[in-house]
Amino acid sequence: MSNLILVTGASGHFGQLVLQHLTETLSVPASRIVAASRNPAKLANWAAKGVATRVLDFEQPETFASAFADIERALLVSTDALDRPGRRLEQHTNAIRGLEAAGVAHVVYTSAPNPEGAPLLLAPDHEGTEQALAASGVASWTVLRNHWYFENLFLFLPPAIASGKWYAADGGKGSADIARSDLALAAATVLAGTETGKKTYTLSGPNSLTKAEIAAAVGAAIGKPIEVVQIPLEALVQGIVQAGLPEPVARIFASFDTNTEAGRVAEVTDDFQRITGRQPQSFEDWLQANTAAFSAP
């Protein structure tokens, strides 16, 4: 049997970090790794290092036979297709059928915390994908319920830093976010390892922090105060629309706050340590390494 590892979504931020951890942190030989993308030209730097690159589009089942051929362990990275409700779930379900048909021995999926019945508008994609995996003929799998990336702050904080006000509708509840690189390390460790069976892990950072705590830390680091202002959910949606996003997307973003208020993302777990044997990076350390990205020009 081959011992090839497949990384889907390999051109994305997460997939790139998984490839880095496989090759550098875990010293997996490039010859054991296959990286897939809808456009493998984006993976030329990995091809130059000896990683095989393949075409894979979850919406083009004709790409599956060659993309999944001889793969032993595969990482199914959830896609970024949020334009139409249910589209991601269709993509992931297609991919699971393809992985099953190809006889891939172990599948790892990047899910989200507490997806069952969550008010987060993205949660049904993850809940449905987990169900599809459980119902499939894939004999062995790992679901990694990834908490939110610290790196999401690169998207949400700049307007708050500019205006000095971070609008929220989360009731001041906390979220146990984690560095994206740590999540990638956990995925790479499962891929490079020999774990079999059917397991679900929830990967959180070391603490649950409120937006007020994050704002205070970032404000102190950049020398500019950021005030968290709690507003009604509908006002948050309209504010995001005024910032230029279509209303359905604004509702998805705002539902992160509803989900936080419902206490769905506050749980701190030790699953990261169980998988990797390491402690996840703290927010303070992450901020210290990334303060320049938030500093005013």
- Exposure string for 118-132, b = 16+ CB within 10 A, e = fewer: bebbbbbbbbbbbeb
- Using the rule CB under 6 A, is 280 a contact of ligand NAP? no
Q: Of 3 and 200, which has the nearer Cβ to ligand NAP?
A: 200
- Using the rule CB under 6 A, is 93 a contact of ligand NAP? no
- Using the rule CB under 6 A, is 97 a contact of ligand NAP? no
Binding window for ligand NAP (CB under 6 A); candidates: 148-156, 199-207, 269-277, 286-294: 148-156
φ/ψ of 125, rounded to 5, equals -60, -45
Residue nearest ligand NAP, CB atom distance: 12
Residue of 20, 26, 38, 235 that binds ligand NAP (CB under 6 A): 38
- Using the rule CB under 6 A, is 149 a contact of ligand NAP? yes
Q: Of 148 and 167, which has the nearer Cβ to ligand NAP?
A: 148
Contacts 24+ apart (CB under 8 A), 272-278: 272/178, 272/182, 272/186, 272/203, 272/204, 274/201, 275/186, 275/189, 275/190, 275/201, 275/203, 276/182, 276/185, 276/186, 276/189, 278/185
- Using the rule CB under 6 A, is 12 a contact of ligand NAP? yes
Query: Distance between CA 121 and CA 83 in Å, rounded?
Result: 12
Cβ atoms 120, 265 nearer than 8 A: no
Residue of 4, 5, 7, 11 that binds ligand NAP (CB under 6 A): 11
- Using the rule CB under 6 A, is 272 a contact of ligand NAP? no
Residue of 25, 42, 131, 156 that binds ligand NAP (CB under 6 A): 42
Residue of 24, 70, 80, 247 that binds ligand NAP (CB under 6 A): 80
- Using the rule CB under 6 A, is 150 a contact of ligand NAP? no
Residues 180-199 interacting with ligand NAP (rule: CB under 6 A): none
Cβ atoms 213, 282 nearer than 8 A: no
Q: How far is the CB of 155 from ligand NAP (least distance, A)?
A: 9
Q: Of 58 and 294, which has the nearer Cβ to ligand NAP?
A: 58
Type of residue numbered 291: T
Q: How far is the CB of 14 from ligand NAP (least distance, A)?
A: 3
Q: How far is the CB of 197 from ligand NAP (least distance, A)?
A: 24
Q: How far is the CB of 287 from ligand NAP (least distance, A)?
A: 16
Here's the x/- map for ligand NAP, 50-69, by CB under 6 A: it reads as ------xxxx----------
Cα 78 to chain centroid, rounded: 7
Q: Of 91 and 210, which has the nearer Cβ to ligand NAP?
A: 91
Cβ atoms 153, 209 nearer than 8 A: no
Task: Catalog residues that contact ligand NAP under the rule CB under 6 A.
Answer: 8-9, 11-15, 37-39, 42, 56-59, 77-81, 91, 110, 146, 148-149, 152
